[in-house]
Amino acid sequence: MAWSEAAREAAALARRMHAHQHAVKHANAIASHKPSTKAKQDIARQSEMMIAAQLRSEHYGKSAPVDVVVKRGAKLIGVEVKTLIDNKNDKITMHGESLARKVKWGHQNHAAMYTVVIDRRAGATHEYYRKGVGSFRLSTLIAVKNGANLRTVFGV
């Protein structure tokens, strides 16, 4: 079946629009990027240790697939802790390679996986959680009242 000239032009236009949308997304990502600093890393590490203390669990540190591991009897819970410090958007991002390591760890250890977000913007500290790991908007997470509330959620 032969393509009409109109169909060829429509297909070419669709390809150009897709390329333009990709370029705009890329430019927006570069414009909104905020580089990590030692000070930001220290704040994030404090958040991880705070969650580990609240859950009376172990903080695994820098190169581990998850930040905190909660032991509940024979079961394990892997917790990824993300900290919002100077973000403009209400979302967290997990890159594909990191996400794959977390999911692999969860499967290998038969562990439930959770994400906890500490929002340290505007001078206050707010905590949120969600089952699973990935890139999420804050509006899809559940607010945590305090450490006792978080322990109840995790069953510890």
For the CA atoms of 12, 17, 22, 27, what is the dihedral angle to 10 degrees? 130
pLDDT at 112: 93
Question: Could you tell me which of 97, 103, 13, 87 has the C-alpha nearest to residue 43?
Answer: 87
Percentage of the chain beyond pLDDT 70 is 97
Residue 11 identity: A
Q: What is the tens place of the pLDDT at every residue in 42-100?
A: 999 999 999 999 999 988 877 789 999 998 888 899 999 999 998 888 999 888 999 99
pLDDT at 145: 87
pLDDT at 53: 93
Q: Which of 25-39, 119-133, 137-151 has the lowest mean pLDDT?
A: 25-39
Helix (H, G, I), strand (E, B) or coil at 6: helix
* Mean pLDDT, the chain, whole residue set: 88
Q: Write the Ramachandran bin of 25: left for phi over 0, alpha for psi from -120 to 50, otherwise beta.
A: alpha
